Structure 1
Amino acid sequence: MPPLDAATLLMVIAVIDVVACVVWLALGEGLRIAPRAARRLSAYHGLCALAWWPALPESMERLVALPLDVISAGLLTAGVRGLTRVRYEAWDIVAIVAFGLVATAFTAGDPDLSTARAVSNIAGGALALMAAWDVAVGAGFRGRLTTVLVLPYGVLAAGCFWRTAGLLGWVPPGFNLAGLGANAPLAMLRLIVDLAIATGLVALVMQRLIARVRHLTRRDALTGLLNRRALEEHLARLQAKTERGRPNAVLVLDVDHFKRINDELGHAGGDAALQHLSRVLGETLRDTDCFGRLGGEEFAVLLPDTDLDGAMLVAERLRDLLQKQPLAWGDKLWPISASFGVATMRAGDSKGQDALTRADAAMYAAKARGRNRVLRAAGEAEFA
């Protein structure tokens, strides 16, 4: 079987890009998987198909192929950034793409395409390095797999810069890289790199889907807070720290007179009250605190590195904050309050469940004493 020539390989690359363009469009618009990133990646593959189609005459390279190369590289980097969610701004991508387009346009009076090609490769190499960085930082995989995902972008960037050096006469003539249209080995390498990038992008999508499913299984559907299962997982981790001598505390709170709220406002109003509480209290907690819904109108807050006195202050602050911010429902303001129980975690507790039980008992004691108050668990003074 005769070896494949460069033109055939470029046609294979173009066909693969067309297929990838359709696939990403279906993922983004049909299945709504990372739609913004998917649109960018679909456009990237579509423009690559146009830029590398072998039938495109050389006279159109400066006007069509080189600008498409730069724009498609920018779309690839923007798509990768959208999948990894490392950053959301794209000014640096836009700046490099604009530089590539403007610099290419300034070479219009030069009959030699070397400078225009060098500019295109510089922009493409820089954008490939940016994509590699975003994958390295935001892929979310372990080291070796992340390295595999980053590698094709590094190869792409190296090829762009090597080609630039040859076009500008910075390397000996024998080490120049001819263009893909006249370099079958380089075209084959580009095909392999494109397939590796496409595979890596699929892996990023899968990782994002897994993260989404994991998020949904750990979140309460109504409030968006951690659900009971997730709280118990965090509680077990805090218990391990407690066994090493770290102070940790648990708050349990329950909305006062919630049945009356449901009766007067209906279930929609009751749901709004729970969402209101979640928002008001969640905004004042630390990033390290774990706030979740145990079920019904009962919630819990896990306070890492917090002793009893600190936990009591936090609970009182939350109680006061909730009391001062009534629920706006219809054309009226409805007062919302909650009763709080506070307990510290102790060495020997069963995965932290004992502390949760003590805090829950203290919360019911607070309700029995008139509601809208904070009580520490029985026996806490001797352990404080």
Structure 2
Amino acid sequence: MPPLDATTLLTVIAVIDAVACGVWLALGQVLRIAPRAARRISAYHGLLALAWWPAIPGSMERLVALPLDIVAAGLLAAGVRGLMRVRYQAWDIVAVVVIGLLATAVTAGDPDLSTARAVSNLAGGVLALMAARDIAVGAGFGAGITGVVMLPYLLLAGGCFWRMGGLLGWMPAGLAPAGLGANAPLAMLRLAVDLTIATGLIALVMQRLIARVRHLTRRDALTGALNRRAVEEHLARLQALTERGRPNALLVLDVDHFKRINDELGHAGGDAALQHLAAVFGDALRDTDCLGRLGGEEFAVLLPETALGGAMDVAERLRRRLQERPLTWGNQLWPISASFGVATMRSGDVNGQGALSRADAAMYAAKARGRNRVLPAAGEAEFA
């Protein structure tokens, strides 16, 4: 069987990119999986399929193929950033693409395409390194798998810089690579890199889907707060820290007269009241604190590295904040209040359940004393 020539390999690459364009478009538009990032990656594959199609005349390389290569590399970097959720802004990517296109346009009067090709490779290499950096920051895999996913982008960047050096005459005579159209081994390497990039992108999508599933299984569907199972998992981890002498506390709170809210506003209004409470509290807590819904109108707040005095201050601040921010429903303001019980975690509790029970009892005591107040658990002064 005769070996594959470079032209055949470029045709294979173009066909694979055309198929990948359709697959990513379906992922984003039909299945709604990371739609913005999927559209960018779909466009990346589509532009590469056009840029590398062997039927494009050589005279169109400067006007069509090279600009498409630069824009495609920018779309790939932007798509990777979208999957990583590192940051949604892409001004640095846009800047590299625009500078690359302008630099390519400046070479329009030069009959030799070497400089234009070098500019295209430089822009592609820089954008590949940017994508590798975003993967390193936001992939969410272990170090080994993250390195594997980054590898094709690093190889792509290295190949672009290597080709650029050859085009500008910076490489020794025997080391300057020919273009993909005249270099079958290089075209084969590019095919392998493209397939590896495609596999890595699918892995990133799967990781994002798994993260979404984990998020949904740990979150209350109505309020977005942690569900009871997740609260108990966090509580067990805090208990382990408590056993090593770290101060931790928790609050249990219950919305006052919630049945009256449901009766007057209906169940939709009651749901809105719980969502309002979660939003009000979420803005007031530290990143390390955890807000969870235990069930019905009862919530818990876990406070790592917090002693009794600090926990009482947090509970009082949340109580006032909720009281000062009524729910807007039906063009009216509906006041909402809650009763709080506060407990510190103690050594010897089983998975923190003792602290949860003490805080719950204190919350009921607060209700019995008139509601809309904060009470510490019984016996807390002995441990303060």
Corresponding residue for 2:89? Answer: 89
- Equivalent position SS for 1:221: coil
Corresponding residue for 2:73? Answer: 73
Query: Counterparts of 2:251 and 2:42 in 1: how far apart (Å)?
Result: 48
Deviation for aligned residue 1:144: 0.7
Corresponding residue for 1:221? Answer: 221
Gaps of 5+ in 1: none
Corresponding residue for 1:244? Answer: 244
Q: Deviations for 1:212-235, whole angstroms, at most 9, x for unmatched residues?
A: 011111111111111111111111
Corresponding residue for 1:287? Answer: 287
Aligned residues: 384
TM alignment of 1:163-312, pairs within 5 A: 163-312=163-312
Deviation for aligned residue 1:7: 0.5
Deviation for aligned residue 1:282: 1.5
Deviation for aligned residue 1:326: 1.4
Runs of 4+ off more than 4 Å: none
Deviation for aligned residue 1:331: 2.9
CA RMSD after TM alignment:
0.7
Deviation for aligned residue 1:332: 2.1
Query: Counterparts of 1:325 and 1:126 in 2: how far apart (Å)?
Result: 49
- For 2:68, the aligned partner's letter is L
Q: Does 1:147 align with 2:144?
A: no
Point out the more displaced range, 104-113 or 318-327: 318-327
Query: Counterparts of 2:270 and 2:52 in 1: how far apart (Å)?
Result: 60
Query: Counterparts of 2:173 and 2:158 in 1: how far apart (Å)?
Result: 18
Query: Counterparts of 2:269 and 2:153 in 1: how far apart (Å)?
Result: 52
Corresponding residue for 1:113? Answer: 113
Query: Counterparts of 1:125 and 1:325 in 2: how far apart (Å)?
Result: 52
Query: Counterparts of 2:327 and 2:92 in 1: how far apart (Å)?
Result: 43
Query: Counterparts of 1:309 and 1:225 in 2: how far apart (Å)?
Result: 25
- Equivalent position SS for 2:109: coil
- For 2:267, the aligned partner's letter is H
Corresponding residue for 2:315? Answer: 315
Q: Deviations for 1:239-296, whole angstroms, at most 9, x for unmatched residues?
A: 1110110000010000001001111111111111111111112111111100111110
Corresponding residue for 1:329? Answer: 329
Q: Deviations for 1:352-384, whole angstroms, at most 9, x for unmatched residues?
A: 111011100110111111111111111111111
Q: Deviations for 1:9-67, whole angstroms, at most 9, x for unmatched residues?
A: 00110110011000000000000000000000000000000111111111110000000
Deviation for aligned residue 1:168: 0.5
TM alignment of 1:318-357, pairs within 5 A: 318-357=318-357
Query: Counterparts of 1:335 and 1:131 in 2: how far apart (Å)?
Result: 49
Query: Counterparts of 1:357 and 1:71 in 2: how far apart (Å)?
Result: 60
Q: Deviations for 1:278-328, whole angstroms, at most 9, x for unmatched residues?
A: 111211111110011111000000000000111111111111111122112
The TM-score normalised by the length of structure 2 is 0.99
Corresponding residue for 2:7? Answer: 7
- For 1:210, the aligned partner's letter is I
Query: Counterparts of 1:329 and 1:73 in 2: how far apart (Å)?
Result: 49
- For 2:318, the aligned partner's letter is L
Q: Deviations for 1:188-209, whole angstroms, at most 9, x for unmatched residues?
A: 0000000000000000000000
Q: Deviations for 1:100-126, whole angstroms, at most 9, x for unmatched residues?
A: 110000101100000000000000000
Q: Identity over the aligned pairs, expressed in percent?
A: 81
